Structure 1
């Protein structure tokens, strides 16, 4: 078996020549969740093939290189309280991890604040003395943790992230986004970790096939075997069969690709995701030094995060819906907007922006509104009853929470289910 880092048809089984290739486990998606699952399975001696729609591994956790700077698309640190996940990172990159500072907070055009919000001490003490009994919404959780005054300031960031007010956002899936602990990062960017993981999968006998867009999944009731169809790089169709499938593709898209049509498809169609647009550029520094990572809480600034890159480069991250005005805007418009906001934040000098790049990434944050729990409950029941041998992993794949280690955790959990011969899908954590 081999690791495919290109999609040259001459080096792959592609087109109509590949009909019904069988593998023990198919993994859909070569992002952190899919690669974590494949790594665990391959090291356990199982045959595993990863199908990735894009021409690269890592998904949103990939690192792009431009003239003068590297850009981690997701901008996320490696942060986890789970010893098994920390051991997973260090085993892959034993000498390449360094400390990454926690997030700072930019109050719009005001000054930056480090660590957890806590400026309104009186409101915070009041919240501690008269706490809300239980935090059902993100707004209640923020008030309990930081006090009402600071919670109101954080609302703007929450709305940028999920397009929902904190009062409309369930607490549990959202809370990890407001914890700013320090973490780790690979010296050459987050993508270094997932390239190393992909290489380890190949060395253990697994296979990764790029530019394989999965467009159909069907389970044979009599044999329990899954048939998965993909579009190959040459435009032809490839068919794979597998005993079990681990899917990291967005849950809404997965449900639409299943045959027969799931009873819960209506519920899946109600699931929503936030997409990300990142504008990165080099520029002369302004009056304020760009933090390594800063959440922008000012409502007058549309960017949600600012990040320092190598040299004099920085990036602004925007969250939107695929197809809306921000997502479809041309690069020149986005660069002009990001440049203007960076100047207002004091991060760059006027007229100094150059070498700008725009990167769009789909489905980076699942949205959890008030109806999401019920939708996920019905989807989970449907999958357990009718689609045995299908396991969900990843943030978008399991429509999970915002914890930094969510993708890896669900990938390892799905692999453990396969190794334990559990055929029912893992319960969706709403």
Structure 2
């Protein structure tokens, strides 16, 4: 038998670290395993000419507990993040929310709460004209048309709240969180990928098999497990095989390819964050980085033509689109970098709620002591604070000795 811990957390992204931090600060023994790096998709990568926040997400939440969480870790080391702009094409930028007066009146007369699809919600919130442009962006994000997308999980992506970012990038928050976990007696182990999970019915102990980067297999046991693995992958790793595995296999995710490079400015100033509406531009977002650098985010499916394209082709495409948008000057590109990140956005189609309902029932009946956290781990909504919220919820369940999994997002 390998190493035993009271609570094992799979994944050192925002959800896993939030959960581990809450448990460690409560005096509980906790170990976090992570395949890649602290912060997961929220990490900050530093290159020669600039640094890059992989997710590009800001700190935004109306929940006092979540705001207190990051404030305690960073104190005053956060700065205000400008609101997102909208690039309609060829560099034309519009402020957010950018709705016409008629659309605002329509939103008052036709309540948003009645909207069943994202398309209806966007129309009632912003008006038909703006909704069409936002629909093009939504299609890039989820590969679904707005009338195919349920409203509730998607709506947070189009709402604007006051936002902040750590002065040195989002990775600064999660590096500070990992240090706080260690100071409180917890442990974080990198380079370990969980490959299988089994619960002993008699003892209630979980056995987790994890593979190191050098191929060596390690066995860890735990009283309870918090998983932030993409829900589809988790269900495939559970033993015995869950009866809801068919439903889990139907869950879909969008992956992200980011192309970043330093360049001289173009005819228009690059915004801090911009959604690109023009369907002729394949990039979904543009982000200004420090030192005149720019990042373009593309959403795709792992294994498709965009994901498997070589770096040189991706750089050429991103540079051409940035020039078309007027954000960079021709012939000035240097230090180009390509970063691929898996499973950044769960996709919610019309059948998703039924799949999640069946998965949740299966987990509650047969996999006691397993808790879900994270946007991909719960197949949750698009709110900026979703990952932290689910991590704190999972930790609270462990502290309260709740053995059934927390509710799967549905």
Answer yes or no: same fold by TM over 0.5. yes
CA RMSD of aligned residues (A): 1.2
**Residues of 2 paired with 1:337 and 1:216: CA distance?**
39
Partner of 1:249: 229
Partner of 1:44: 26
Partner of 2:371: 391
1:245 aligns to what SS in structure 2?
strand
Partner of 2:209: 229
Residues 1:88 and 2:78 are matched in the alignment:
no
- Of residues 189, 195, 204, the one that matches 2:184 is 204
Instruction: Output one character per residue of 1:351-377: Cα deviation in whole Å (capped at 9) or x when no partner.
Output: 211111000000000000000000000
**Residues of 1 paired with 2:280 and 2:203: CA distance?**
58
**Residues of 2 paired with 1:188 and 1:284: CA distance?**
23
2:165 aligns to what SS in structure 1?
strand
Instruction: Output one character per residue of 1:213-252: Cα deviation in whole Å (capped at 9) or x when no partner.
Output: 1011000111111111111243221111111000000000
How far residue 133 of structure 1 moved from its aligned partner, in angstroms, is 7.3
Q: Is the 8 A contact 1:103 1:182 kept in 2?
A: no
User: Mind listing any 5+ residue stretches in structure 2 that lack a counterpart?
Assistant: none
Kindly tell me: are residues 127 and 95 of structure 1, through their superposed partners in 2, closer, same or farther at Cα, counting changes over 3 Å? closer
Partner of 1:33: 15
1:107 aligns to what SS in structure 2?
strand
**Residues of 1 paired with 2:172 and 2:120: CA distance?**
38
Runs of 4+ in 1 over 2 A off after TM superposition: 120-133
**Residues of 2 paired with 1:311 and 1:178: CA distance?**
29
- Of residues 307, 310, 330, the one that matches 1:350 is 330
- Of residues 78, 82, 94, the one that matches 1:101 is 82
How far residue 181 of structure 1 moved from its aligned partner, in angstroms, is 2.6
How far residue 165 of structure 1 moved from its aligned partner, in angstroms, is 0.2
User: Mind listing any 5+ residue stretches in structure 1 that lack a counterpart?
Assistant: 1-18
Q: Is the 8 A contact 1:124 1:148 kept in 2?
A: no
Q: Is the 8 A contact 1:28 1:248 kept in 2?
A: yes
Partner of 1:261: 241
Number of corresponding residues: 410
Partner of 1:337: 317
**Residues of 2 paired with 1:331 and 1:155: CA distance?**
29
**Residues of 2 paired with 1:127 and 1:366: CA distance?**
28
Kindly tell me: are residues 423 and 187 of structure 1, through their superposed partners in 2, closer, same or farther at Cα, counting changes over 3 Å? same
Instruction: Output one character per residue of 1:184-205: Cα deviation in whole Å (capped at 9) or x when no partner.
Output: 1111100000000001101100
What does 1:11-410 align with in structure 2 at a 5 Å threshold? 19-54=1-36, 56-118=37-99, 120-126=100-106, 128-129=108-109, 134-410=114-390
Kindly tell me: are residues 224 and 151 of structure 1, through their superposed partners in 2, closer, same or farther at Cα, counting changes over 3 Å? same
Q: Is the 8 A contact 1:115 1:181 kept in 2?
A: no
How far residue 114 of structure 1 moved from its aligned partner, in angstroms, is 1.2
Q: Is the 8 A contact 1:103 1:181 kept in 2?
A: no
1:228 aligns to what SS in structure 2?
strand
Kindly tell me: are residues 234 and 350 of structure 1, through their superposed partners in 2, closer, same or farther at Cα, counting changes over 3 Å? closer
2:290 aligns to what SS in structure 1?
coil
**Residues of 2 paired with 1:291 and 1:361: CA distance?**
23
How far residue 128 of structure 1 moved from its aligned partner, in angstroms, is 4.0
Kindly tell me: are residues 97 and 381 of structure 1, through their superposed partners in 2, closer, same or farther at Cα, counting changes over 3 Å? same
Provide TM-score, normalisation by structure 2.
Answer: 0.98
